[in-house]
Amino acid sequence: MAGSAKYDMILDALQTLLETRDIRTISVSEIAQTAGIGKGSIYYYFPSKDAILEALVERSYEKPLETAKQLASRTEIPSFTRMAMIFQACRNSSLAFRRRDSAGEAMDAPEKAYIHQKYLNHLVTELKPALTEILTQSIQNGEIRFDYPAALAEIALIVLAVKIDNTLVPGTQEEIEHTIEGLISLMEKGTGNPSGSLNFLKTL
């Protein structure tokens, strides 16, 4: 069903409506009308409006996230380089979301927070397995020392996603940089790496 013409038409319709409408005021009937299909077709593909929104978020960031997930098997690339590429994918997805979100002037603060929650959940959930695999490989190769690669992956992704997105916890550029520097320091100390070894994160 995903990738079919009607499936994409439904997502396109919701995306169009979100440019001028509050998600809470958009009905499934309006999505169907905008897509030019019957309301029954909506429920063939999606159980609810919320499911349509989640699919739209997923489609919006499919390419950078797929690239990131493929890196887990690219063992010929140094682990820290792959980690940098993962974090860059995180940044690119966040910037893409912010550009689209800024166009939706009709959204109020609660709606933005709701959609951002959907986005951040998807980003962290999708990137975590790939980053965990890379960290596990680094541990097995003796590049880093850490007992909980999945926890480290999740912590890093949550901090980076929230701070780069800069909407759930807004801050100045200086505050964002200080938070990322703090994350770098904690990761270096926690994995037994020398100070400065993860400075590539400062460029994100």
* pLDDT confidence of residue 156: 87
| Tokens (6 digits) for 60 | 């919006």
Tens-digit pLDDT string for the chain (204 aa): 555 899 999 999 998 998 888 888 899 999 999 999 999 999 999 999 999 988 988 887 787 778 888 888 898 888 888 888 887 777 777 676 666 555 555 556 666 677 778 888 888 888 899 999 999 998 998 888 889 999 999 998 888 877 776 767 778 888 888 888 888 888 888 888 888 877 766 655
Contacts of 138 (CB under 8 A, 6+ apart): 79, 80, 144
Tell me the C-alpha distance between 128 and 149, whole Å: 10
* pLDDT confidence of residue 185: 87
* pLDDT confidence of residue 160: 80
Output Rg (C-alpha) for the chain, integer angstroms. Answer: 19
